[in-house]
């Protein structure tokens, strides 16, 4: 029995040692996030394996939508209305609703022969707005999108003049005119109620974007840039291609139904950057985003 026990114990030890040795010599390669992009992925043997990266581009029809962004950076502490005319054509103390940013853009409202009419814009003095949520957002960013209503003729309606008070939906239950009545209501003479059940129905009102006059003067001096979503993505990827080395890169796009084809095979990025960028820039928006 002792001989059998010793043999069993010896065999067990040998098996366990073998398993442990196997775990160490076959340890999987693990990469940190940064190593995926630098290509320095270590293996158990110490050799480096080049990372393979496949960029999948959304080329659905929605990528043809125009994204508008200011060319520069808005500084709320700068009075852009002090600039040389005709670029200071907006009143910095007023708020303007749904200004056109397409076509000639904001500069189209200014100049000796303006394309658009400032007088035709819905506008009001910021002093009549009781929308507390607007204060910091419009002051700091120059604009804000919300549902706005104006209390005129005893009820809340759309904005149509520069004198009656204006409220926004995001203020509901948070701030009225400074008292405890926080809900816009048509059941009181003041236009506000402490009871939520008396609140107006915000559903029929459409969200609009309100801009400060100072921000519009800024846009008039530094016109916003309009680019498609796809173009923005292509430019970003081009920058990555130009500034990355030591990895293998491929390119894939969406198709009209499922997944999508690989339009540029996974190859060393340093071999032919021009060909890879050409494949990126050849993509066009069409179809839809695969969902299955």
Q: What is the CATH number of the domain that holds 44?
A: 3.40.50.410
219/81 same-domain check: yes
Question: In this predicted structure, what is the pLDDT of residue 275?
Answer: 94
The tokens of 120 are what? 């035709």
Question: In this predicted structure, what is the pLDDT of residue 281?
Answer: 93
218/238 same-domain check: no
Strands (E), the chain: 41-42, 48-49, 52-57, 66-69, 94-97, 123-125, 143-152, 155-157, 166-168, 183-184, 192-193, 207-212, 225-228, 248-253, 262-268
98/192 same-domain check: yes
Question: In this predicted structure, what is the pLDDT of residue 15?
Answer: 39
129/217 same-domain check: yes
Question: In this predicted structure, what is the pLDDT of residue 291?
Answer: 60
pLDDT in tens, 223-244: 666 678 888 899 889 988 988 8
Question: In this predicted structure, what is the pLDDT of residue 225?
Answer: 62
105 φψ region: left (φ > 0), alpha (ψ -120 to 50), beta (else): left
- Using the 3D structure, point to which of 172, 198, 223 is the last residue of a domain: 223
207/231 same-domain check: no
47/132 same-domain check: no
Question: In this predicted structure, what is the pLDDT of residue 3?
Answer: 41
191 φψ region: left (φ > 0), alpha (ψ -120 to 50), beta (else): left
CA-closest candidate to residue 29, choices 17, 10, 46: 46
Question: In this predicted structure, what is the pLDDT of residue 157?
Answer: 92
- How many distinct structural domains can be found in the chain? 2
Domain of 101 in residue numbering reads as: 71-223
Question: In this predicted structure, what is the pLDDT of residue 228?
Answer: 82
pTM of the model: 0.54
- Using the 3D structure, point to which of 195, 223, 251 is the last residue of a domain: 223
216/233 same-domain check: no
Question: In this predicted structure, what is the pLDDT of residue 71?
Answer: 63
- Using the 3D structure, point to which of 223, 254, 280 is the last residue of a domain: 223
Question: In this predicted structure, what is the pLDDT of residue 18?
Answer: 44
Spans of the chain, pLDDT less than 70 = 1-48, 68-71, 83-87, 103, 133-135, 223-226, 256-259, 290-292
Question: In this predicted structure, what is the pLDDT of residue 258?
Answer: 65
The tokens of 155 are what? 């009820």
161/187 same-domain check: yes
83 φψ region: left (φ > 0), alpha (ψ -120 to 50), beta (else): beta
């Amino acid at each position: 029995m002792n001989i059998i026990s010793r043999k069993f114990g010896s065999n067990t030890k040998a098996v366990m040692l073998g398993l442990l040795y196997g775990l160490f010599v076959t340890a999987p390669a693990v990469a940190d996030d940064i190593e995926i992009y630098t290509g320095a992925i270590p293996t158990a043997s110490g050799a480096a394996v080049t990372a393979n990266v496949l960029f999948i581009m959304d080329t659905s029809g929605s990528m043809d939508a125009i994204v508008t962004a200011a060319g520069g950076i808005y500084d709320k502490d700068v009075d852009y209305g002090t600039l040389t005319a005709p670029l200071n054509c907006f009143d910095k103390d007023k708020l303007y609703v749904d200004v056109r940013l397409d076509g000639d853009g904001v500069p189209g409202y200014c100049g000796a022969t303006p394309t658009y009419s400032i007088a035709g814009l819905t506008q009001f003095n910021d002093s009549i707005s009781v929308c507390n949520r607007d204060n910091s957002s419009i002051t700091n960013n120059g604009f804000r999108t919300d549902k706005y209503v104006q209390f005129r003729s005893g009820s809340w309606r759309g904005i149509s003049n520069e004198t009656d008070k204006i409220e926004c939906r995001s203020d509901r239950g948070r701030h009225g005119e400074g008292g405890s009545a926080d809900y816009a209501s048509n059941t009181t003479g003041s236009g506000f109620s402490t009871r939520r059940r008396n609140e107006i129905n915000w559903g029929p009102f459409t969200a609009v974007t309100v801009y400060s006059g100072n921000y519009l003067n800024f846009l008039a001096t530094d016109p916003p840039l309009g680019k498609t979503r796809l173009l923005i993505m292509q430019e970003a990827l081009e920058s990555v291609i130009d500034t990355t080395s030591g990895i293998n890169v491929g390119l894939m796009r969406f198709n009209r139904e499922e997944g999508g084809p690989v339009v540029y095979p996974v190859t060393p990025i340093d071999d032919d950057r021009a060909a890879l960028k050409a494949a990126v820039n050849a993509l066009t928006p069409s179809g839809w985003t695969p969902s299955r």
